[in-house]
Amino acid sequence: MKSSSITIGICQLTVTPDKALNIRNAERMLKGAAKEKCQVAILPEMFNCPYEAELFSRYAESYPDGDTFTMLSQTAAQERMVVVGGSIPERDERGNIYNTCFIFDEEGRLLGRHRKIHLFDVEIAGGTVFKESNILSAGQDITVIKAAGLTLGIGICYDIRFPELSRLMALAGAKLLIFPGVFGMTTGPAHWELLMRSRAVDNQVFVAGAAPANFPEALDQVYGHSMVVDPWGQIISVADDKEKLLIAEIDLEILNKVRRELPLLQHRRTDVYDLRQKM
Ligand SMILES: O=C(O)CCC(=O)C(=O)O
């Protein structure tokens, strides 16, 4: 492996109604990623809880208490690997519930936390109907952190549809954007790959999308297709809808080459338009 690159692993696991089983599965796949020498392992959105709004409150945990946090932190420390904990329902001290990604470093310490900013409130005729804001509160912060010698930007699922967010993360130095996400069978086949590749090309960054595997007995079928895209917009690794550990190499030489040859970010006309983070 080159010194300019790191290996990441996406754990595309099956999420069942059994929370304890989901946590054990996540631990098993994280350990599998460590065996493959991944420096960063990534779990999907809501990996401890089926994606059903009524269940979020029942499966929620308050940091630092809870079986999910304990497993994430211990596994990160035991395997000396950064763990990007997909997301879980998180309850704050006032009882609000967020869709939150917790990130742990190689010592098992909490590195950062991303609360999903854009809530998925949609009504697609003949397809998906969902109103996350009935149950969830929205995050207010943009999450860019340094881990494993790399700057990471984290968004969750619907967050990927908002190019401003990805651009702000890229401008803050993120070289790998990570989106745990559960796209269903309405928007998944139409938009998942398109969005991953668009954000990669827009910002000349690597993009990793971490989805759960499809669980045939689930109420709603999910699309799966975890993938990693390079800064040229090429898919370098992709799963189908089955359980899989997806490995990819993030080589910053590729990113630097793309940015050198096609200096998109330098060509922005900030004298004509501007984009600012508010808080
Ligand atoms: O944007 C989409 O099509 C899917 C988003 C979603 O399922 C979510 O944010 O939970």
pTM: 0.97
For residue 39, being part of any structural domain is answered with yes
| pLDDT score recorded for residue 279 | 66
Cα–Cα distance, 1 to 88 (Å, whole number): 33
Catalytic residue positions, numbered: 45, 116, 157
Task: Give the domain extent around 80.
Answer: 5-261
CATH of the domain at 228: 3.60.110.10
For residue 273, being part of any structural domain is answered with no
For residue 266, being part of any structural domain is answered with no
Cα–Cα distance, 165 to 163 (Å, whole number): 5
For residue 278, being part of any structural domain is answered with no
| pLDDT score recorded for residue 267 | 97
| Nearest Cα residue to 40 out of 232, 248, 254, 255 | 248
- Are the CB atoms for 185 and 219 separated by under 8 Å? no
| pLDDT score recorded for residue 217 | 81
The residues, ordered by sequence, that sit 6+ positions from 70 with a Cβ below 8 Å of its Cβ are none
Minimal-distance CA residue to ligand 1 atom 7: 183
For residue 274, being part of any structural domain is answered with no
| pLDDT score recorded for residue 216 | 83
Cα–Cα distance, 1 to 155 (Å, whole number): 28
Q: State the amino acid at position 24 in one-letter form.
A: R
| pLDDT score recorded for residue 219 | 75
| pLDDT score recorded for residue 72 | 98
Minimal-distance CA residue to ligand 1 atom 5: 158
Ligand 1, pocket residues at CB < 6 Å: 120, 157-158, 161, 182-183, 187, 191
The pLDDT tens digits of the residues spanning 82-105 come to 999 999 999 999 999 999 999 999
Cα–Cα distance, 177 to 209 (Å, whole number): 9
List, for the chain, all residue ranges whose pLDDT scores fall below the cut of 70.
Answer: 1, 279
| pLDDT score recorded for residue 129 | 85
For residue 267, being part of any structural domain is answered with no
**Number of domains observed in the structure of the chain:** 1
Q: Which atom of ligand 1 is nearest to the CA of 132?
A: 10
What is the DSSP annotation of 172-191? TT-SEEEEE---BTTTHHHH
What is the DSSP annotation of 178-228? EEE---BTTTHHHHHHHHHHHHHHHHT-EEEEE-PBP-TTSSS-B----EE
Q: State the amino acid at position 99 in one-letter form.
A: N
For residue 275, being part of any structural domain is answered with no
Tokens, residue 147: 């881990």
Query: By CB neighbour count within 10 A (0-12 exposed, 13-18 middle, 19+ buried), where does 30 fall?
Result: buried
For residue 133, being part of any structural domain is answered with yes
Q: What 3-state class would DSSP assign to 51?
A: coil
The pLDDT tens digits of the residues spanning 41-96 come to 999 999 999 998 889 999 999 999 999 999 999 999 999 999 999 999 999 999 99
Q: Is the dihedral of CA 19, 25, 30, 34 positive or negative?
A: positive
- Tell how far the Cα of 81 is from the centroid of ligand 1, in angstroms: 28
Q: State the amino acid at position 31 in one-letter form.
A: K
ipTM of the complex: 0.97
Q: What angle do CA 70, 102, 47 make, to 5 degrees?
A: 75
